[in-house]
Amino acid sequence: MGSLNKLRLLHQVRKNQWLKPSELEELQNRKLRAMVKHAYENTEFYHRKFRDAEIRPDDIKTTEDLYKIPFTTKEELRQNSLGSMLAKGIDLNKCHVTETSGSTGIPTKVVYDSYANDFSKAVNLRSHIENGLKLRSKWVVFGDPNHFQKPQWFQKLRIFSPNQISVFDSVDEQISSLRNFNPDVLDGYTSSIRLFAQAVEEKGVEDIKPGVVFGTSELLDKETRKYINSVFNVEMVDHFGCVELNRTAWECSEHMGYHMDVDSVITEFIKDGEGVAANERGQIVYTGLYNYAMPLIRYNIEDIGIPSDEYCACGRSLPLMKVVEGRTDSFMQVPSGRIFSPIIWTTIMRKIPGVGQFKAIQEKKDLIRLLLVKNENFAENTVYQIEHDIKEVMGQDVEVKVEIVDNIPKDKSGKVRSAESRIKINW
């Protein structure tokens, strides 16, 4: 695809956000019909799925018809060969191939053709530009080196060119590589930016003063947001998405929720097989509208979100959703059936002297392993107090095992998470 076409795509998606809601809806339905037809005619997987459900592409005319199509699960992606998911005639050498982090299982390959890759970049740039990224901003992205891409022609000219920093580097390495660079924009995994902010504050680094900070993939909690905002004196902007569909929603400077990228993905919020009402929690189910190499239709991402019926004060017609703090696999469920959001961890642990970094891992419904990095206030009764305070919140029938460690291991994607559950939650 020509370079001018890439800029044209960017121009187009920037225009889409100001379309009338009815025009956006029409655009979405048109893209949906084309994708459904394509997936049925060109992929083994969806051909079979549609046939098994006794539906034809013509049965799907608008998003209202989506309920007729059975969900696609992560398990199906793992169990079916990549070939059966891909459209006929796809040349993998010409595609961008990436992998999910597989925090709950085996990673799966995700394939974008070059058009899809360009489109997803355009959608990604849209929210960055709308929040202050400039043509030649000094832009730093903390990310997983496995997902880094080679710079494109315009990026070699230092236009919209992110400086990629590995989240596997120590904060000292990160700081030293950014010294004298004076980044305008920090971007990337929220947990990495938090650790980076902490180091910047502790070491009194003065030459790192970004004007904009973007978080992505994992808004941990309000406290993290506040902390990052205070260190850099900004109002951080959060992004929402996943490896399979890329960015799917984003905040604008009004912070009224997350604008959904409805021109590139359909987001449904499902409970007990049906869409939820506004302001209710539902499982997020995505239908991608631009990746013809590997269609994903009604793909259950195993994450939770909340649709909103509010209009944003900014005037953009991209509808709003709200996110639930933390990822689904950071939520824990105890024998009583009660579900705890990952927010509880900072709340519980912040009050206990002696706690440096930590990570809570739920191994079984009634067993929490708590990895702890001591700080200078660690005392004989610290461990006892941790056990006591966790049980008080989660229940006396939950066993707590504290393990003292030197550092908290990052997960496969390089994220540092304070909570992780290895059990299946019954929502």
Applying CB under 5 A, the residues found at the interface with Zn ion are 252, 254, 312, 314, 316
The nearer residue to Zn ion, 96 or 247, going by C-beta atoms, is 247
Q: What is the DSSP letter of 143?
A: E
Nearer to Zn ion, 98 or 124 (CB): 124
Q: Are 341 and 393 in contact (CB under 8 A)?
A: no
3-class SS shares of the chain: helix, strand, coil, % to 5: 35, 25, 40
**134 versus 316: smaller Cβ distance to Zn ion:** 316
CB of 278: closest distance to Zn ion in angstroms?
17
**Minimum distance between the CB of residue 237 and Zn ion, rounded to whole angstroms?**
11
Min separation Cβ 18 and Zn ion, Å: 11
Q: Which is nearer to Zn ion, 33 or 316 (CB)?
A: 316
Distances (CA, A) of 320 to 13, 72, 241, 307, 356: 17, 24, 14, 7, 37
Q: Are 339 and 331 in contact (CB under 8 A)?
A: yes
What secondary structure letter does DSSP report for 377? T
Contact between residue 237 and residue 129 where contact means Cβ atoms under 8 Å apart: no
Tokens matching residue 256? 């009224």
Residue 249 or 312 with smaller CB distance to Zn ion: 312
**Least distance between Zn ion and beta carbon 322 (Å):** 13
- Residue pair 333/426 in contact (Cβ under 8 Å)? The answer is yes
Q: Which 3 state secondary structure label does DSSP give 256? A: coil
Nearest residue (CB) to Zn ion, 106 versus 314? 314
Least separation in angstroms between CB 282 and Zn ion: 22
Joined together, the tokens standing for residue 338 give 């009660």
d(CA 343, CA 326): 7
- Min dist CB 266 to Zn ion, Å, is 20
Q: Smallest distance, Å, CB 334 to Zn ion? A: 37
Q: Is the separation of the CB atoms in 40 and 47 below 8 Å?
A: yes
CB of 320 to Zn ion, least distance (A): 7
* Minimum CB distance to Zn ion smaller for 219 or for 368: 219
Q: How far is the CB of 315 from Zn ion (least distance, A)?
A: 7
- Of the pair 13, 368, the CB lying nearest Zn ion is at 13
Residue 77 or 252 with smaller CB distance to Zn ion: 252
